[in-house]
């Protein structure tokens, strides 16, 4: 999230106290609405005498889950500290630990075994690629970002890797906001895909709009193959169809909260099948949670989002942008995925 902008925040009354390792904060008691159930998947901890905290991005790789812990590292990496990537079993047991230089935000498996770890979304970006079979790591550098900031998140579509160009320095933003990334030698090569001032339309009404992407953040791909870009501080999702064509179709969905109010979002994920369950992180609470719907299962294709400013998980209407919370009382909810069990040992 861009650090220089003050996001609109939906006020909540914080009614209880919870203390978490490395980050004591005041939050309401976590709770879910029926038929959802909440449990703890994993928490911040210590490995070889070094604490890891602030879980954010989450991805699944085969029978394991990988989580990026930001460890209070500066978002431009200037403090010289490192983030920790922890690999867990599907039951939440730590398996492997990887250190990456800087503030990790983007995390994505590319191809069969490569974990792309993207650091420093405000400035001075770097990329570490980890071969998850061997544990080998390689550091890649970026050319000087034309927008003046860093790179935030990663999406993969048909083998192509897309990055958000975050924290732009100009307003209006006429620089690339979404780029295509390829690796050459020790460098990340980038090609522009969508500019910050691209033409678009409002999804509910069809009215034409001109973008001014001041806070490109999280990325995902929806079931129809659209790339979904979170314009975080402005509470909008940008849907990009045929991203690599000469004239991609760009739709804008403004986010509001059921019952009134506004909030920013962090991650959005789509249910792959009714057997999947949800994992999400609370960066302030230092915890990764699991949500199940044992009664009905999650409805395939349904979208869910986390809110970094309010601290909830909500079902997202793709028709009008209304989010309806299903779990509340967290500090700042961030990474969100749906996990499809692949192990005979998984419940």
Question: pLDDT tens digits, residue range 204-249?
Answer: 999 999 999 999 999 999 999 999 999 999 899 999 999 999 999 9
Give the CATH number, domain containing residue 291. Answer: 2.130.10.10
Residue with tokens 């983007």: 106
CA–CA dist 340, 307 (Å, integer): 23
Residue 39 to residues 1, 31, 248: CA-CA distances in angstroms?
A: 27, 10, 41
The verdict on residue 11 lying in a domain is no
- Asked if the structure places residue 2 within a domain, the reply is no
In a domain, 309, yes or no: yes
Q: What is the pLDDT of residue 28?
A: 61
CA distance 333 to 306: 5
Give the domain extent around 327: 17-339
Beta bridge partners of 155: 162
* Residue 342 confidence (pLDDT): 72
Residue 7 belongs to some domain of the structure: no
Range 99-124 average pLDDT: 98
Going by pLDDT thresholds of 50, 70 and 90, the confidence category of residue 262 is confident
User: What integer pLDDT is reported at residue 15 of this predicted model?
Assistant: 30
In a domain, 4, yes or no: no
**What percentage of the chain reaches a pLDDT higher than 70?**
90
Band (21; pLDDT cuts 50, 70, 90): very low
Assign 261 a pLDDT band (cuts: 50, 70, 90): confident
The answer to whether residue 259 sits within a structural domain is: yes
Domain for residue 6, yes or no? no
Task: Return the pLDDT at 24.
Answer: 41
Predicted TM-score (pTM) of the model is 0.90
- What is the sign, positive or negative, of the torsion defined by CA atoms of 336, 333, 265, 229? negative
The yes-or-no verdict on residue 13 having pLDDT over 60 is: no
Q: How many folded domains does the chain comprise? A: 1
- Examine residue 184 and state whether it is found in any structural domain, yes or no: yes
């Amino acid at each position: 999230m861009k650090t220089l902008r003050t996001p609109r925040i939906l006020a909540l009354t914080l009614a209880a106290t919870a203390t978490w390792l490395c980050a004591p904060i005041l939050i309401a008691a976590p709770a879910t609405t029926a038929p959802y159930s909440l449990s703890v998947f994993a928490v911040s901890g210590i490995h070889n005498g070094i604490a890891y905290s602030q879980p954010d991005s989450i991805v699944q790789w085969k029978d394991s889950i990988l989580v990026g812990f930001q460890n209070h590292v500066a978002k431009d990496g200037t403090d010289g500290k490192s983030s920790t990537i922890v690999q867990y079993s599907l039951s939440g047991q730590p398996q492997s630990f990887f250190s990456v230089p800087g503030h990790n935000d983007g995390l994505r498996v590319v191809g069969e075994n490569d974990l792309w770890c993207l650091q420093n979304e405000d400035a001075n970006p770097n990329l570490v690629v980890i071969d998850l079979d061997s544990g080998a790591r390689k550091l890649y550098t970026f050319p000087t970002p034309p927008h003046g900031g860093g790179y935030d998140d990663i999406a993969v579509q048909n083998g192509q890797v897309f990055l958000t160009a975050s924290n732009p320095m100009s307003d209006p933003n006429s620089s690339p906001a979404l780029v295509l990334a390829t690796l050459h030698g020790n460098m990340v090569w980038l090609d522009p895909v969508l500019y910050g001032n691209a033409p678009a339309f409002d999804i509910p009404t069809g009215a034409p709009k001109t973008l001014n992407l001041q806070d490109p953040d999280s990325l995902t791909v929806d079931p129809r193959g659209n790339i979904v870009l979170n314009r975080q501080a402005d509470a909008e999702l940008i849907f990009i169809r045929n991203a690599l064509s000469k004239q991609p179709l760009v739709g804008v969905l403004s986010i509001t909260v059921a019952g009134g109010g506004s909030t920013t979002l962090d991650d959005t994920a789509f249910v792959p099948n009714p057997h999947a369950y949800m994992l999400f992180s609370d960066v302030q609470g230092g915890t990764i949670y699991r949500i199940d719907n044992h009664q009905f299962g999650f409805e395939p294709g349904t979208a869910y989002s986390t809110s970094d400013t309010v601290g909830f998980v909500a079902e997202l209407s793709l028709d009008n942008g209304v989010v309806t919370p299903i779990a509340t009382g967290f500090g700042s909810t961030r990474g969100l995925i749906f996990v499809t069990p692949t192990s005979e040992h998984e419940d």
